Amino acid sequence: MRVWIDQDLCTGDGLCTDHCPEVFTLLEDGIAYVKDGSCVHNDPGMAEGLATVPPRLNRNVVHAADDCPGECIFLEV
């Protein structure tokens, strides 16, 4: 699975980081981004900033997407 965040829709409440801090992070701008290990996909972000989700974290990422109030987390399987 791969995941990306539409930063234009992100409300910055951080629920995604609660569900899966290994894949999601909030930066200084208060917006969530995805990451692969230590590489944060904040440039350019959005659909061009896809991160690969380790299979063991798939369930957490799906829960983050389901709970996101901004509906800004997009999954590709």
For 11-47, what is each residue's pLDDT tens digit? 999 999 999 999 999 999 999 999 999 999 998 888 8
- The answer to whether residues 22 and 52 touch, using CB atoms and an 8 Å cutoff, is no
- What pLDDT does residue 67 have? 97
Domain count, the chain: 1
Distance of alpha carbon 6 from alpha carbon 32, whole angstroms: 9
- Tens digits of per-residue pLDDT, 38-57? 999 998 888 889 999 999 99
- What pLDDT does residue 22 have? 98
User: For strand 2-5 and strand 73-76, is the pairing parallel, antiparallel, or unpaired?
Assistant: antiparallel
Q: What is the pTM of this model?
A: 0.94
Domain that holds residue 62: 2-76
Residue whose structure tokens are 């290990």: 37
CATH code for the domain of 58: 3.30.70.20
Beta pairing partners, 32? 26
